[in-house]
Structures are given as C-alpha cells and as structure tokens.
Amino acid sequence: MEDTVVLYPSQGHLSSMLELGKLILKHRPSVSVTFVMSNPSTELVTANPFITFIPLPEVSLPTPITSFLDLVASFFEIPKLNNPDLHHTLSSLSASSNIKALIIDFFCSPAFEFLSSRLDIPIYYFNSSGACGLSMFLYTPTLDKNTTESLKDLDILVEVPGAPKVPSKDIPPVLCDRSHRVYQYFVDTGKQMFKSAGVVVNTFESLEPNACKAIQERKCFPNGPLPPIFCVGPLAITGESRKENECLTWLDSQPSRSVLYLCFGSMGVFSSSQLKEMAIGLEKSGVRFLWAVRAPKEDGQTQARKKVEALREAAVVAKSEGGSTCVAMERLVESFK
C-alpha cells in the first residue's frame, strides 16, 4: 500500500500547513500527502495537484456565538463535532493507504483523544505561532495549577520559560478567564501535546533561541515527558504578490518608453519630508511613474530594518542544506515509521 501523511488543518492555519505538506513531499518524495478538511475549494485543489484533499461534511454549532471568547471556542468545537466523520475517513483511507502520521492543528486538539483510543496512528501537533507560543501552550497546565484566580483579575507579571515577562492583563484573553470554556480548551491542549508523537513548530532555532532552549531543557514542564520538537519554519508562501502582478499589468498597458521607474534599493529609506518632496516633484512633472516606496525613516527604524534583514538571512540559512530547519524536517520525516 502507498505510504501517506495526513494533515488536519483548521481554516485559519491552512496556508502554513500547506507549506508544511509541500516540505514533506520535498524531503520524502516516496510518501503522499493528504489533507482532510471541511470544504476544500476548487481553487485550492487545482493549485496543489500533488496533494490529495478529502472533504469532511459541514457541521453547525448548536449554540450561538455572542463574544470573542465564544468565537475562539468554536475553533475547538467544530473539530469536535467532526470527530466521527474524521474517524470514518481515516478508517476508510487506511484500507488503501498506510497512514504513517496524522498532523493536527492545535485547534483540532479534540481529535487527539478521540482518535488515540480508536486508531493506531502516530499523532503530531502543528503549532503555527512559533516557539514562544508553544512555550506558553506547554506551560499553561502548570500556570493553571499554580493559580486559582483568573489572570484578568490579577495584576502580576506572568513568567513563561523562554519568553519575556508579560503583565497578566496583556495575556491573550482566551487564557485570562477561567470561567469561560475556551480557557479549559487551551489547558487541555497543552496537556495533550505531552502525549503526542511530536510537535511541529513554525519557527527556526536562531529566530527564537531562548524559547527553543527553554523547551528543550524541559523548563515548561519540569515533571513531564518531552515530545520530540521539530522547528521547521519559516513556513511562508513564496511567489509574486497580487500587487506585483497588478503593477506589471498596468505597465503593459502604458505606451512604450513612457514610464519613469523609481527604486532606491533595499537600503533606500527616506524620511517623511523627503518622500513628500519627491512625490510633489513627480506630480508636477506630469509623467507616468512606478515608484517602489519603503516606509519612511523614523527614529530607530534603520536599526529595526537591519534586524529584519538579519532575520531574513538567518531564515535562508536555516532552510538551506544542513541548516536547522532542513535538519528538523529530516528528523520529522524519519520519525514517520
């Protein structure tokens, strides 16, 4: 039978999981990649011919959404309603394919316990929010155990291993109200991650060294087992943007040799007043123009830009042969036994 890896995304994290699927195919061409999800669009299926998409039936929530916390809770509750159909789909797929792994988005956590007791398939978590987000996830059960009040009612600094201290009132609201069901969903997901076959994270080690180190050193869960962690990011969509295509379309419609093009390179950053002077000059000239404009130079922005450029270069190194991301992907596909 054909070996396949199944990915089970939530709608909000589909793009990054698609990039993960492509990386799996790149590093292990001998396996197929299958997405199980609600209502994959024709455009999505057409744009990804090397990936198989299996639709799940649409489900409806029994209770109305009346707040932001209700909305986030629904991200967990919809997959829970899909559990029977997901189980049926995977059972049917197992008849024709050897499922090497199931990778679920963290919002699809209700599938973990349901499927673990019914199917013999290694289940991995996918965490889209990087190592700091994963550190928070893994530390949430400890935080829940050490506090009895809701964070929204406290005025303290929350210390999450590997992350900067955060005032309790600035913690994401889904973790601040113990009385709302969504709080327990996140706590339970943190607990389930410990039991998984591994956690795939959209980051690379040199981007979040402190968080990655804290996780590897078990500081987030001193008394618990550490599942394998695979830092395989950045999982970013490549290719031309819509704006670039629109610019080219506009250029093609202009008379030959009639457009003035302005581009000052990656270090061409100007102040607001300088940009305004150039804009006035262009307007008064009356010529057609295409101008690649960067954000105005403000205090400290040049230094920030240098940091962004350095991170971009670090990401390229991480994804190159022998880089940390490439090594993590090899470890991940090797774990699909």
List active site positions: 13, 105
Tokens 């690379």 sit on residue: 204
Question: Using CA atoms in the order 193, 196, 198, 199, what is the torsion angle rounded to 10 degrees?
Answer: -30
Reading the block at residue 325, the tokens are 């991301």
pLDDT digits (tens, 9 = 90+) for 134-187: 999 999 999 999 989 999 999 999 999 999 999 998 899 999 999 999 999 999
The pLDDT assigned to 241 comes to 47
Report d(CA 318, CA 236) in Å as an integer. 13
Helical (H) or strand (E) element with 132? helix 130-146
Q: What is the average pLDDT value for the chain, to the nearest integer?
A: 89
pLDDT (average), residues 109-132: 94
The pTM assigned to this predicted structure is 0.80
Report d(CA 49, CA 27) in Å as an integer. 17
Give yes or no for residue 237 having a pLDDT over 80: no
pLDDT digits (tens, 9 = 90+) for 280-333: 999 999 999 998 887 776 655 566 667 777 878 888 888 888 899 999 999 999
Contacts with 315 (C-beta within 8 Å, 6 or more apart), sequence order: 204, 207, 233, 234
The pLDDT assigned to 297 comes to 62
Contacts with 130 (C-beta within 8 Å, 6 or more apart), sequence order: 201, 202, 203, 207, 208, 211, 233
pLDDT cut 70: percent of the chain above it? 93
Give yes or no for residue 192 having a pLDDT over 50: yes
The pLDDT assigned to 268 comes to 66
Which superfamily does 2-238+321-334 belong to? Glycogen Phosphorylase B; (3.40.50.2000)
* Confidence category of residue 242, pLDDT binned at 50, 70, 90: very low
Sketch the domain layout of the chain as residue ranges.
2-238+321-334, 242-298
* Confidence category of residue 80, pLDDT binned at 50, 70, 90: very high
Give yes or no for residue 258 having a pLDDT over 60: yes
pLDDT (average), residues 14-26: 94
Query: How many CB atoms are located within 10 Å of the residue 227 CB?
Result: 17
Query: How many CB atoms are located within 10 Å of the residue 38 CB?
Result: 16
DSSP, collapsed to helix, strand or coil, labels residue 319 as helix
The pLDDT assigned to 240 comes to 46
pLDDT digits (tens, 9 = 90+) for 36-79: 999 899 999 999 999 999 999 999 888 889 999 999 999 999 99
